[in-house]
Amino acid sequence: MAILKILTYPEKSLLQPSDKIDTIDDDIKKLSEDMGETMFNAPGVGLAAPQIGVNKRILLYDSNAANPNNDGSTKEFTALINPKIIAASGSIISEKEACLSVLDYSADVKRYEKVTVKALNIEGKKLEFDAEGILAIIMQHEIDHLNGILFIDRISVLKRAMYKKKLAKKQNDQ
């Protein structure tokens, strides 16, 4: 396993939609293992392949993120291949949502309260499940990555402009 470099905004490849995975081979399985190690090292609760420079529709998430008794000591992830949201309902505010690819910034983001996700697991088995709460937010956030959307694309134009100005100043100061 390897810890991979996480790309950060304004990397243009983060804004590109990802390609469907046709075959789950050993390379995809190794990629998921490397992504898992990378996510936990960061630390994060989700990671999509575009964040590590791979334009493929694979994401993974911390299998224990929605467990209120999770103290962070158990490191298990679930990989989803070609995931898509097939139903969504309700509305919540994801407070202080952040991203491993958007440095030093968090914001409140309007999200669906409940989503139904359809995908394949790493063995190629079809899955369909409902996600609520933090898991629903993770699914929406990571699937957005696969579609070339960052969470800052879902905040107000003013807040996004303020973040971009802060980022530009930080880059100029370096």
Query: Active-site positions?
Result: 142
Does residue 103 contact residue 174 with C-beta atoms inside 8 Å?
Answer: no
Say how far apart CA 6 and CA 138 lie, in whole Å.
17
Residue type, 8: T
Does residue 128 contact residue 115 with C-beta atoms inside 8 Å?
Answer: no
> DSSP secondary-structure letter at 21?
P
Would you say how long the chain is, in residues? Answer: 174
